[in-house]
């Protein structure tokens, strides 16, 4: 059985219904769509294969995804934002190249929401990396920086991916559960950031792989100021969460790790922004001195 469960966490999303319609129009195998609605979201018209559930507890992205995975009946799960468009037959293409311990990312385009088309004036994203964390404290993830590595690897249609943005990813339900799902909520809070970093690092450090699949694609809307994020982000809380993540991953604190962060960097070396002497303790000491919260 190779059923796919598509998971959509939604909070004040104006393009949710169009995203759901697109999945139903483009998927070709057996699938279900699980939408976790916040209390402010508009209800969806019922249809076969659509499961709509209200968010349990406080708003939060990790807990919403965990809630949906608990409901999911598919061998495979795919999380997507509620403002995305997909290639025809995306589900069958992703299932054809996904080992049991992989997280697979389709090629990413930008979305023009008014016409529901790909924006070919924006760059195609295939590769992203984790920037050196001790340069500047931000409230967002380490991963997700576009990488020029793509220029020399165009012929590789399935290739290793160090980090990813998090708007769409595909894996097996078994892998997601084996690495502990999103179990860092208690320690880090349930802000709407950093979840892709957690999934990518857990996958690589547990012996799995994150892969880009260029045989298919999705198009993602970067909302920005025009379309609104739809939820409030507390910058102080996010920066505190960012500091926790930096300490957690840079000091190899995940108990299920089979590899270290040094091992991961060696797999993709040279990684942009990482100095050769990145293990010099002065980087961390100066960073923490300048970023008291």
The answer to whether residues 157 and 172 touch, using CB atoms and an 8 Å cutoff, is no
The answer to whether residues 246 and 141 touch, using CB atoms and an 8 Å cutoff, is no
pLDDT tens-digit series, residues 261-293:
999 999 999 999 999 999 999 999 999 998 875
Of 214 and 40, the structure prediction assigns the larger pLDDT to 214
Name the β-bridge partners of 106.
213
Can you list the positions of beta strands (E) in the chain?
4-10, 31-37, 50-54, 76-80, 84-86, 102-112, 117-119, 128-129, 145-146, 158-160, 168-172, 209-220
pLDDT tens-digit series, residues 156-214:
999 999 999 899 999 999 999 999 999 887 666 676 678 999 999 999 999 999 999 99
Residue 221 burial (CB < 10 Å; 0-12/13-18/19+)?
Answer: buried
pLDDT band at 40 (very low <50, low <70, confident <90, very high): low
pLDDT tens-digit series, residues 62-112:
999 999 999 999 999 999 999 999 999 999 999 999 999 999 999 999 999
* Residue 19 lies in domain: 4-290
Q: What is the mean pLDDT of the chain?
A: 90
Distance CA 275, CA 273 (A): 6
Of 137 and 293, the structure prediction assigns the larger pLDDT to 137
Q: Into how many domains does the chain fold?
A: 1
Question: What pLDDT was estimated at residue 150?
Answer: 79
pTM value is: 0.93
Pick from 140, 194, 142: nearest CA to 166? 194
CATH of the domain at 100: 3.90.550.10
């Amino acid at each position: 059985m190779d059923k796919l469960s598509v998971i959509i966490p939604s909070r004040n999303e104006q393009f949710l219904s169009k995203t759901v319609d697109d999945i139903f129009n483009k998927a070709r195998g057996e699938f279900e769509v699980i939408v976790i609605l916040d209390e402010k979201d508009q209800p969806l018209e019922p249809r076969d294969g659509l499961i709509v559930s209200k968010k349990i507890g406080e708003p939060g992205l990790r807990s919403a995804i965990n809630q949906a995975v608990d409901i999911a009946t598919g061998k495979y799960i795919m999380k997507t934002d509620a403002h995305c468009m997909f290639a025809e037959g995306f589900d069958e293409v992703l299932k054809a190249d996904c080992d049991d311990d992989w997280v697979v990312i389709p090629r990413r385009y930008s979305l023009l929401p008014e016409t529901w088309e790909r924006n070919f004036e924006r760059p195609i994203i295939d590769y992203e990396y984790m920037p050196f964390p001790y340069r500047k404290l931000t409230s967002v993830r380490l991963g997700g920086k576009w990488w020029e590595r793509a220029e020399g690897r165009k012929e590789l249609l399935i290739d290793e991916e160090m980090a990813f943005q998090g708007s769409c990813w595909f894996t097996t339900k078994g892998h997601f559960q084996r690495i502990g799902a999103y179990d860092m909520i208690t320690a880090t809070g349930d802000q709407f950031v950093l979840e892709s970093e957690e999934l990518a690092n857990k996958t690589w450090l547990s012996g799995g792989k994150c892969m880009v699949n260029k045989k298919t694609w999705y198009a993602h809307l970067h909302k920005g100021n025009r379309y609104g994020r739809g939820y409030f982000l507390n910058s102080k809380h996010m920066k505190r969460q960012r500091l926790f993540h930096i300490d957690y991953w840079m000091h190899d604190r995940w108990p299920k790790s089979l590899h270290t962060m040094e091992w991961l960097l060696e797999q993709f070396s040279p990684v942009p922004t990482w100095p050769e002497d990145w293990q010099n303790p002065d980087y961390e000491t100066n960073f923490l001195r300048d970023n008291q919260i």
